[in-house]
Amino acid sequence: MIREKKLLFPVMMLVFLFLALEGLGYYIGNKRTSMSEAGIKDKKTARISVSELKEKNRALKSMVKSLSPGGVYLVVDTARNLLFLKEGERIIREAVISSGSGNILYDAGGKKKWVFDTPRGEYTVKSKYISPAWTKPDWAFVEEGEDIPKNYSDRIENGVLGDYALGFGNGYFIHGTLYTRLLGRNVTHGCIRVGDKDLKTIFTAAEIGTRIFIF
Amino acid sequence: MWPVIVFFMAFFISTDAACDNKGNLSSETQRLRAELKLAEKPDIYFIFNLKERKIYIKARGTLLREFRIIDMKYWGDYISANPLFLLKKSTFMKPGREKIKPGADQDGDEVEIDALELDDMPARYTLSLEGGVSISVTPEPEGLITGLCNIIYSAGRYISGPVIMVWNALRKKTFTSIYIVLNKKEAQALYWSFHEGNGSIIYPP
């Protein structure tokens, strides 16, 4: 009983301190929320008139908009595995795709590592190919447990990239696929696979320099 | 007497409204400048418009995708109008990448696919941005379990928030806590798309 009473005091003190800390935190937080709003309003009321601010905002909005692509462009949503061929805000074509699996591959020595993500950001169409042949990179051989060939010709494989391919740099392509039932899934090594019909439309519409936004 | 009272009331109301309008416009100017900075780079950026309750994924000023914020709470310091970059994504269980076994059939023709997909992404996580901004994302409750998880998660946030606030106040640093509820798929998509180093702009409510 006495021991319990001895324990009760420090426990109560700790609870009290914690509650005091919480209360102090809420006080500071609420004060800062209201103070910051008031402070910003004071700053803003200085010098510039409402009409000038409106004009400035209009100009800034048009400057931001001027950075948007002028003609057609491609938007790749790797989360939903969708590709949009767009012009302005209009969607010309929506295609189901396959994008990077996110898997990792190490070589036999464990020194070299490949991460199969589709790169994100802004890219442009750098090359266009009809009936493209695939030049197999090192990882393709490592993945199959084969030795990396010394002859360039041993890397060439036909018929796996579909009818067309659009290169967007660093060995990444938008191309066709033999595995159409896997469209909509994340299964590739970073390239973007598209179904035949959609690919033809995209290939026809996209020129060298067409912008590609991948996210 | 009455006309004088009405005149003064109208004067004060209109002056206050004009100040509010000016404040909003000024805030927008600063944020548009910040967006211009981000849009000049070839990277994806994010706009959290808490006033419109929308999240926009953009690049070069082009809207790529938008999410609707179902519910939102904002607490703490005023957020800087400058671009804020994502420092860290924290979640209870981080999605892991599969290691490929060399020599195994990897042509993707199997029924079972070992890949990092949207469904593997968490829907409940915290985004830590520059300037002491912390965005907690939770999914819209769809049943008893998600509802219960949201309550536990919110309780944790309510308990830890004030402690972090005191800690930051002692270090003379700012702290802002934003709580966002999204549709589950959109919460997962935001986690998928928003990466460390990506820029963002936050429009306060």
B113-152 tens-digit pLDDT: 788 999 999 999 999 999 999 999 999 988 888 788 878 8
Instruction: Give the range among A192-196, B20-24, B56-60, B95-99 with minimum mean pLDDT.
Output: B20-24
- Pair A119, A190: CB distance under 8 Å: yes
Q: What CATH architecture does domain B2-93+116-203 belong to?
A: Beta Barrel (2.40)
**Which residues 73-112 in chain B show a CB within 8 A of chain A?**
74-78, 97-100, 102-103, 106-109
What are the chain B neighbours of A122 within 8 Å (beta carbons)?
42-44, 59-60
Kindly determine whether residue B23 and residue A80, on different chains, have CB atoms separated by under 8 Å. no
Check CB contact of A4 with chain B, cutoff 8 Å: no
Q: Give tens-digit pLDDT for B27-84.
A: 889 999 999 999 999 999 999 999 999 999 999 999 999 999 999 999 898 888 999 9
ipTM of predicted complex: 0.86
What are the chain A neighbours of B97 within 8 Å (beta carbons)?
102-104, 115
For A45-136, strand residue ranges (E) read 72-77, 82-87, 90-100, 104-106, 113-115, 121-124, 127-130, 133-135
- One of 3.40.50.1970, 2.40.440.10, 3.40.1410.10, 3.40.50.1260 is the CATH number of A72-214, namely 2.40.440.10
- Pair B25, A57: CB distance under 8 Å: yes
**Which band of pLDDT confidence, cut at 50, 70 and 90, is reported for residue B154?**
confident
**Which band of pLDDT confidence, cut at 50, 70 and 90, is reported for residue A45?**
very low
**Which band of pLDDT confidence, cut at 50, 70 and 90, is reported for residue A40?**
low
Per-residue pLDDT at A18: 86
Substitution target in A187, A188, A191 with the highest count of B β-carbons within 10 Å is A187
**Which band of pLDDT confidence, cut at 50, 70 and 90, is reported for residue A42?**
very low
Mean pLDDT of A7-13: 86
**Which residues 68-127 in chain A show a CB within 8 A of chain B?**
68-69, 73, 75, 77-80, 89, 98, 101-108, 115, 120-123
Considering chain A, what percentage of its residues have pLDDT values greater than 70? 93
Distance CA A68, CA B83 (A): 19
Distance CA A206, CA A177 (A): 19
Q: For chain B, give every domain's residue range.
A: 2-93+116-203
Mean pLDDT of A138-166: 94
Label residue A32 exposed, middle or buried (CB < 10 Å: 0-12, 13-18, 19+): buried
Kindly determine whether residue A101 and residue B98, on different chains, have CB atoms separated by under 8 Å. yes
Distance CA B157, CA B56 (A): 25
Per-residue pLDDT at A63: 96
Check CB contact of A46 with chain B, cutoff 8 Å: no
Check CB contact of A22 with chain B, cutoff 8 Å: yes
List CB contacts of A40: < 8 A, sequence separation 6 or more.
Answer: B23, B26, B27, B78
Considering chain B, what percentage of its residues have pLDDT values greater than 70? 86
Q: Is the pLDDT of residue A8 over 90?
A: no
